[in-house]
Structure 1
Amino acid sequence: MFVVNDGKIYVISEEHLDPKEIGSKIGRVTRYSDQEGTYSGNFSNRYPVGTGYYEIIGVEINKAIAIKDDKGLYIKATYGGEYAGNRYSWIDILPYVCAALLVFIGGYLMKKKINW
């Protein structure tokens, strides 16, 4: 079981952390799937969308992070390397592509109307 935060994979351990060891929130699960594959965003194959990722006081983020589960417990997850999935997928940039396309088409139509 794992989570991905900012393109880095963290392997979930069985180690619980004391809330006094927890620092700032650094992210959250943005995509969940228990199907094999590579996904974009802050992905998890265990925790649902919205589950928070936190720094552990005195531990570098590239070593380990904490996951706050649905019972309010903090679970340690250790760094396992770069994630093979993309940070962004087409679905993430699709609204920007559509907006640019509409502006381009609108400008083209305005130019054609003026030239008539």
Structure 2
Amino acid sequence: MRKFVFLMSIFFAVSSFITLGTAHADWAHRFVVNDGKSYIVSDTQVESTQIGAKIGKVTSYSDEEGTYSGNFSNVYPKGTEYYAIKEISINEAIAIKQDDGSFIKAAYGSEYEGKAINLKTVLFYIGGLFLLIIVFMLVKNNWKRKRG
């Protein structure tokens, strides 16, 4: 019986640790970040004749909730290019190049305060360390019981 409880404790600890890191985001908008500015992606097409100079590209993608650094997107993969729209300030909107070569408009939303490490990540690793300590203590205690 003790062995069963011990094994179940380890299983619970490991499965809890794994599920802590797999929560996915439920962001209110599809967005991209360019040069510290967040843009909300629309469904508005931009004619190729209105496309100006390339201004950046996605350097980091994730669908997991958090705060990220660089030119981040929660919808577009790494490498997706951003362009200026002629006669519109990049403080108002930019164009995003789609896989098929068309362009879609993204309107300026706000400044984006990206960070390389966020609170969720720190809590995830602290929780994981705590669970590992518990498992170690259980194994050590079980080993001592068996020895005598």
TM over 0.5: yes
Quick one: distance in 2 between partners of 1:83 and 1:74? 23
Aligned residues: percent identity? 60
Match of 1:46 in 2: 75
Q: Which amino acid aligns with 2:50?
A: E
Moved over 6 A (4+): none
Match of 1:12 in 2: 41
Quick one: distance in 2 between partners of 1:42 and 1:14? 20
Quick one: distance in 2 between partners of 1:47 and 1:85? 17
How far the C-alpha of 1:61 sits from its partner, in A, is 0.4
CA RMSD of aligned residues (A): 1.1
TM-score (norm 2): 0.58
How far the C-alpha of 1:84 sits from its partner, in A, is 2.8
The number of residue pairs the alignment matches comes to: 88
TM-score (norm 1): 0.73
Quick one: distance in 2 between partners of 1:64 and 1:42? 15
Identify the match of residue 85 of structure 2 among 56, 70, 74: 56
Structure with greater strand share of residues: 1
Match of 2:136 in 1: none
Quick one: distance in 1 between partners of 2:74 and 2:111? 16
Match of 1:67 in 2: 96
Residues 95-114 of structure 1: matches in 2 within 5 Å? none
Quick one: distance in 2 between partners of 1:16 and 1:2? 16
Deviations 1:38-62 (A, max 9, x none): 0000000000000000000000000
Match of 2:106 in 1: 77
Question: Larger Rg: 1 or 2?
Answer: 2
Greater relative contact order: 1 or 2 (C-alpha under 8 angstroms, separation 6 or more)? 1
Gap runs ≥5 in structure 2: 1-29, 118-148
